[in-house]
Structure 1
């Protein structure tokens, strides 16, 4: 097997992807069995479903011809969602790229458990927690750098003399006609919102309802889904309590549980607590975009009541459209943000 970015035979790459998929399925089995596979205790049902989806997505990963000079990747991982390395990994496997994952301080066990299950055939894959200075030094040894994160990502990028692509910060929205908002759909919206305690870029934060919105329909839905997707071990209850107390003053209507809240508001709040859904009434998708303003360019996903609504969100940064209840399951080959694809990653293109 070759190393350093020379593409292996397609059948060999498929074989390695299949082996990596089997390892992910093994992780999923351990999650279902009750083993703790990460430093953070995640929502087991969600993590199990996401791992099954990622394992299956490896089977359909696209194989475009390599058209760039990137032979190695250094990835600064986020601390909010553990599966990001599994979503990046197929690029490394298909094109045999040397890859290093700089692990976040709060979650290292998940990657180490995954890496231990991989055979020696995957010796081009490595990762560990590094100090800030050591991470910057090591990153200079690689052709291209990914940085997942918020404001600190830009400060890190400024110190590197390498092509860098920053992913984040992003969030997701939903749009639905009030006539389509059934009790079953309300459960799916609750699932999208409570996933990873609303910390992930594909977690639904804002729901735009075309027409009159009575948020009482979410009461039983959130009670039910919150019992399945309980707060993770890193859930900050103090921030939740403080944030929801602030939100109450601006809410036209609200319902609240012990660890979740649905708030009907007129505009985008300044504070976004975890496990909180904001609902806004609009007359059209154009109204929703007007409310979002420049935040439309910080969108990651959009769950829609009807897929024909996609055309209204062309002038946004949405990279993934889904049905409600499916935001955490992007398609094979999805590269996180709009305009980013396998080819421009392999070319080291940072401004796409």
Structure 2
């Protein structure tokens, strides 16, 4: 079994199913380059500017709990091997495997497009969720600050925003988040799939450490910014045993809720995940894959609305029951996650103040 590629989730390139032909670098050519004294860098990340005409996207899925999303980047250097967004990279002409982690598409005009949307006469101020597809705080954001510029525009217009991330870089924008929170305009969904750093390194190789994520949760909560933790996904025989201790820990640090999904391996993610499992944990791979299939009617691939995120069968029911018990035991304080759009509507249409 070849050694896993360090710093990556996917362990090989996957052919784009929309393309009849594919490009590959022959081993003979790589060997020739190395023989000539040039080491072929097969693990470099590329950042490619794209110029979309729209930035805010309507979400039609009934399973994800959002109506509109916005993604400053396509592709994600975090490299989470289970990521459902991998399949979408094929629509941009890339593969769902290593291409997803190595070729990051950058929308530098996102702030301008966002403001155009907020100025639209027909826009009614519905919450826009950042990172509905890929993380808005992935590493390149530290340099480009596209997400920060978008938050500045949202604050200017007093518009509600949700954020999904697993990167402690969000703390850079604490100043903006505090102002948004004071008007009930922001909610953060922080992804914490495990309390084990070893598991994190395997599953999510370029994300913030578990220690830093827990610290991020506490700092956000201490600054009155509502944070819901996403234990997404739960993977049988990998992190499924951590439900109770994880909920207990994040509740102590200030999370107001914990949401979860059961891993699903749609499209080419099944091939990527299987390859990763056999290379990184060959002793447990079969058990993990069989239990995932048990949660989805005997298949790794489940696209059915209503069941694809929650699973079905005895094992899925046990996971749901354990999560219910954990939340009942440790998350006793309930709070609304509804954000306020009235500030935006009043700013956009001053006449509404008369009513």
TM-score, scaled to structure 1: 0.29
TM-score, scaled to structure 2: 0.29
